[in-house]
Each structure stands twice: as C-alpha cells, then as structure tokens.
Structure 1
C-alpha cells in the first residue's frame, strides 16, 4: 500500500470511529437521563440544547487556531481526546448543573472534530483526486452501526456502557487523527459583510427560514427518537435497530440525490424531502407501535439523504462567489445551531407539559410549514420567471 492509499484508508477509519462514537452516545443520552438520572423534560431539553449553541460559538475559535498554528492534526487529536474525556465524566455526575457543564465542555471540544477533519479531507481530495463522499460515507456507516451495537450492549450490560464506548472509541480515533493529511484550508468568513450581499440574493433569506423549520427538527430528533421508541414500548436494542435502519437508509439516497436534483430541480427535491419529513413526524405523534416506527425509518433516509445535499448545493450555487463560504457558514449556523437549539429545548418543555407524542406533533407542524414555504418559492419562481423577478434557482453543474 503506497502513501496515498494509506492516507485514504486512514481517513476512512477516522471518520468511521469518530461517527461511531457519536452514534453510540447521543441517540441514547436522553434515554439515560430519563431512566437513570430521572431528569425532567425541561432539564433534558436544556442539556441537549446547550451543545449546538456552544459549538456555534467555539467552531470559529478552532478555525483561527488552525490557521495560526498550521497544525490541524495536533488540534484534531487534542479535540478527540478532550471530547472522549469530558464525555466519560457523564458517568460520574448526577447533579443537573454539573451535567449542563459537562454538555457545554463536551461541545467545546467536539465542535472542532468535524470542521477540521472535513477541511483536511476535502483539501487532500482536491489536490490528489478521489471522492470526498466515499470517505465521508464511512462516518454514516459508523454512526448507524454504533447505535445498534451500543443499544444491544445497553440492554445486556446497563446504560452506563455508552460512556465507556464513547471514550474508548474516540481514544482509538486519536491514533488515526495523527495520520490525517497535514494541510487544511479554513475558508475565510465575513458574516457582517457577507450578509449584506446575501440579503440581496432572491430566495436566500427565505431558504434560511426553511432550513430552520425543516433541519432543526431533524437535528433534535437525534436526541428524542430513543425516547419515542421507549414510550411506544420498544427496548434499548430496539432504539439501536431503528437508528441503524434510519441512518443506514441515508446512504443510497445521498448517492441518488445529484441525479434527481438535475432531473427535477433543487427546490422540488427540497420540497419533497421536507414534506416527507413532516409527514413522518405527524405519524409519530399518533403513537404508533415500535414495529410501525421501524418500518417508517426509511423516510429518514429519503428526507435527510435528499435534503442535506440539495440544501448545501442550493446555498453554494445560489450565493455569489466571493461570499460562498459565508453563505455556507450562515446556513450551517441556522440549521445545526439555532434550529437544533430551539427544537431541542422546546421538546424538553413540551415533554414536561404533555408527552413525547406532542413533541413530534410540534415538529410536524413546523416542518410542514417549511415544506409549504418551499412550495411557495417554487410557485413564485414559475409565476415570475417571465419578468426575471423570480426567486432564483441556481443552474446546476454536471458533477
């Protein structure tokens, strides 16, 4: 195996292990808080929502450190060891305030892992050829297998096992982080100046609202899906099995997304994905049995597998060249940051007032609102295309 093959293999292993650690902890964390610590819904909501905000604030700091030190591999190694170490301390804490502090500390280190590794991987692929998607795909595989595997182990050995697994796998990934490519490129982002340009782009602000309404519930679902399955009568192994089906089904749809986008158009694909996601949440609010939940998890593959690549392509090709990096940063902040925070903390409050079924009704209403707004964008584009005032849809490039 030559040096280039070793680097590609190393990157795939790192992504597999990093996402395996995430998949083995976060989908089962809310279940642990409810069953073992007996936290209230609002307390669970606060703990699960603190991460997106901390990550939003600390990611730029890691980027500046990478630019200043020119040692992204070292920073990545520090980040994975720090994430594993802080995450393990969940097992030693029961006080609510301490759990919130742990969640914030974990997010501070975790916020560096994906941006740094993505930057190194994409820069390497750009210089040496290859397919970033084939590298990143191993992360999806690791996440899906982890929830299934750790769910079974939790049934056999107790829920505390998820923290041992999380720390151990991240410590192993630290070895492979040292073998990541040496160089990374951090895109320069000017939020204030870039936003002045982006507000002039037809459809950009509307799409940020769509992202908030559709992607926010998708991100928050990672924390509350396990509680839904347990509420319906499923086991921890069942939680893992459901996530295996859901996350695993994303891979083929992500592969087909490009072809479908070129054939139908980005906005149409975004509308269909948002509609499917909203219908899924409404169905879950009716209190289905675990078997019906398992059967419908493929909708996650359809909705996320299409929405994520379509949304990213829409943003990058809609934005002017000089503010593309800013557009992607704002899009990510709205969906992964503000959206995940709002729908996580709201879910906790709703659980305390009502039940997990009401959480998914809430998700469904907001997501279908996002789908309706996307449909309005499509109709506006068609109605006004003749006079050039329509909401823009970027011309797609053949990839």
Structure 2
C-alpha cells in the first residue's frame, strides 16, 4: 500500500512538471509574443529555483518540518501560482508568477525523494521502482496534451489552447498538495543539528576541485548545460513551428529512451569506463543538434525522431554517470555535499547561463532576419563539440568504483 502511495506521489510530481514545462517556449512565443530573451528569462526560473532550493531543504525542511507536510504546502502554493499563470495576459504578468512557482517547485524534487527513502529498507533496490513512475507521469502529460486534447496542434495553438496546460497542472498540483498530507510521516532528520550555509552549498566539497580530473569534469558539466538549455527552451517551439503534429507527444520518446538507457548505463560503465561513457553522452548532444538542423516535418522526420530519442544517451550517459562518478570520488563525509555542489553548478549556474545564451542566440538568429532553425541548432552542436574535445584532451583515464546500484 505504501508503494502505491509513493508511486502516485511520484507520478503526479513529474506529471505536473512535464505538463507545462515542455510546451512553455511554444506558449510564450505564440500566445504571449515573447522574445527569445524573455523566453530565456522564463526558463531560467528553473535555475533560480535550483539555487534557492538547497536553502529551503537544508535550512528549513531538514530541521523543523516533516517532509510530507512541507511538500503539501509547496504544492498547494504551486496550484495557486499555476492558476495565476493561466490568468496572465502578457509576459510582464507571467514572469513573477513563474519565478515564484519554480522557487516553490524545485525543492519538492528533493522532498519526494526524502519521503520515498524514509519508507524504504533497501533504497538501492526499491527506489527505482518508485522513481520510474515519475518518468511515466511526464510521458502521460505529453501524451494527454497532444493526443487527448490536441492543445499543441496548429489550430490549438492558434486558438490559445496551450493556456489550458497551466489549468491542468494547477489541478494536478492541488491534488498532490492535498494527497501529500496523507503520506507516511517523514520527520526532519537534522532536528537539533547545526546546519549553515556552508553545509547547504556543499562548500566542503570544493576541495575535490584540487583533483585535475574532477576539475575537468566539473567545468565540463557546467559548460555542457549551455547546449542542454537549447533543447529545453527551443525543441518544442521548433518542432511545432516546422509543422510536426503532436510535437509534445512525440517528445515523450525522450523519456522512454531515458528509462531504456538507464538500464544499459551500468553495462557501459563497467565495460568502457567513466571517461568513454561521459564522452558518448557529450557526443550524443552534438549528434542530436545536427539531426535537428537537417531534419524537417516531411522526409526528414526520421532525423527529428532519432534526435528526440537520443535524450536517454544525452542525459543518462553524462549527467547520471556524472553523479555516479562524483559519488565515487567523494569521501564518505562529503558525498552529500559533493552531489549538492554538482547539482548547484549544473542546474543552477550552468543552466542559468545556458538559458540566457539560448535566448540571445534565438533572438540573434530570428527567422525573420533571414536565418533558419538550422543556424540556431548548429550553435549548440558546435559548442558541445568543443566541450567534448576539451574533455577528451584534458581528462585522464582513471579507474574508479562506479557502482550504478
């Protein structure tokens, strides 16, 4: 029964995120007539949320409140903010609410994990079965938007139907907020302990940067977030604009591949080692954007589908294997701090820079200036290629324990 409740929690958690974030760029550009820079600002709220989240978790949730209760409060607040996003009529109204929403939402990613781990005897064996329902939730959200309601169809976008994604997610957030108060009690583990900003930001883990290989990996992780931001920000508007029907539904292939390649990741790590696995992940980013540059909605649709399906390699082989590598390199006392540092550097600083760059490039290569989407996609392809070459030259081979669990 507890497994079912945790699975529902995880399903709704990622259904909410996938239900509005994928189509955000399309909505802003078409319904609110936002510029590329404004779209970048909206997406960067994810990064601000990621930067602020450790303070909410480390300084508040871990010390004073049950995880399931603060999860419920944040999702109820999120439901109200989602409704305000539904009501917003222009970008100036929209931005404050999306910023507030992401500051409320990003801490819940850690909270659902805390609630799950708190009920498990062997997380290494049990957590995957729970977490996969989050991916399923993201997939279902995309399929519902495309194939049930057709909000992302050309006629749906023209009629402003994408606005309904915010109402859908407001309802789901309200449901999860109320449901959270029925979850098993997960009391704060850090009650009575002194926790400061140094602990929250993972400052102790900075000593790991003295290791040449980890420093190269760390900087590569920050830099690869720049091309990553292009996918989050531009993929759905691109597919929609060139005439790919049910673009949001088709993009769920990325999450399907994420599940499949997660199963293959331990095989690659054990057989080929961490360096080659990370290189494969970066190479997949280069290939994905080249495919996007040359694909189209007609005879080139297969190139686009392959580019979407590469998401599993792009994400799992670099970011997930990078988390495993970080855990292997960190001493037992700073493992949590090390993961916090790499998350802050990538989803916080790296993605913040990435969304800004993506917005500037999109504006500079605007289609009404004589450029094409191919010009836009070749920038992240080239940037990822440079990061790949630098990593190849600077990262020295090493043997580390990369137990993928």
Short-chain TM bin: 0.7 to 0.9
The CA distance in 2 between the partners of 1:214 and 1:317, in whole Å, is 21
1:290-329 CA deviation, whole Å, 9 max, x = no partner? 6231243221122223223211100111122222112111
Tell me which residue corresponds to 2:231. Answer: 221
Aligned pairs for 1:288-299 (under 5 A) are 288-289=296-297, 291-292=301-302, 293-299=304-310
1:26 Cα deviation from its structure 2 partner: 0.5
Aligned pairs for 1:1-399 (under 5 A) are 6-126=1-121, 130-152=125-147, 153=149, 154=151, 155=153, 158-183=161-186, 185=189, 189=199, 191=201, 193-235=203-245, 237=246, 239-286=247-294, 288-289=296-297, 291-292=301-302, 293-355=304-366, 356-378=373-395, 380-381=396-397, 392-397=398-403, 399=405
* Structure 2 residues without counterparts, runs of 5 or longer: 367-372
Secondary structure of the structure 2 residue equivalent to 1:285: helix
Secondary structure of the structure 1 residue equivalent to 2:310: helix
1:331 Cα deviation from its structure 2 partner: 0.7
1:50 Cα deviation from its structure 2 partner: 2.8
1:128 Cα deviation from its structure 2 partner: 7.6
In structure 2, the CA distance between the partners of 1:181 and 1:214, relative to structure 1 (3 Å rule), is: farther
Number of residues of Structure 1 aligned to a counterpart in Structure 2: 381
The CA distance in 2 between the partners of 1:211 and 1:287, in whole Å, is 27
The CA distance in 1 between the partners of 2:169 and 2:284, in whole Å, is 32
1:320-349 CA deviation, whole Å, 9 max, x = no partner? 222211211111112111122112121112
1:21 Cα deviation from its structure 2 partner: 1.2
The CA distance in 2 between the partners of 1:230 and 1:61, in whole Å, is 37
1:360 Cα deviation from its structure 2 partner: 2.2
The CA distance in 2 between the partners of 1:88 and 1:252, in whole Å, is 35
The CA distance in 1 between the partners of 2:124 and 2:377, in whole Å, is 43
Structure 2 length normalisation: TM-score? 0.87
Bigger shift: 62-71 or 304-313?
Answer: 62-71
C-alpha RMSD over aligned residues: 2.4
1:362 Cα deviation from its structure 2 partner: 2.1
* Structure 1 residues without counterparts, runs of 5 or longer: 1-5, 382-391
The CA distance in 2 between the partners of 1:173 and 1:195, in whole Å, is 34
Bigger shift: 257-266 or 193-202?
Answer: 193-202
In structure 2, the CA distance between the partners of 1:128 and 1:206, relative to structure 1 (3 Å rule), is: closer
In structure 2, the CA distance between the partners of 1:41 and 1:128, relative to structure 1 (3 Å rule), is: closer
1:172 Cα deviation from its structure 2 partner: 1.5
1:140-177 CA deviation, whole Å, 9 max, x = no partner? 11112211211342135821210111111111222332
The CA distance in 1 between the partners of 2:321 and 2:180, in whole Å, is 29
1:263 Cα deviation from its structure 2 partner: 1.5
Contact kept? 1:246, 1:297, Cα under 8 Å: yes
In structure 2, the CA distance between the partners of 1:31 and 1:262, relative to structure 1 (3 Å rule), is: same
Secondary structure of the structure 2 residue equivalent to 1:98: helix
The CA distance in 1 between the partners of 2:289 and 2:67, in whole Å, is 39
1:73 Cα deviation from its structure 2 partner: 0.9
In structure 2, the CA distance between the partners of 1:220 and 1:119, relative to structure 1 (3 Å rule), is: farther
Contact kept? 1:27, 1:224, Cα under 8 Å: no
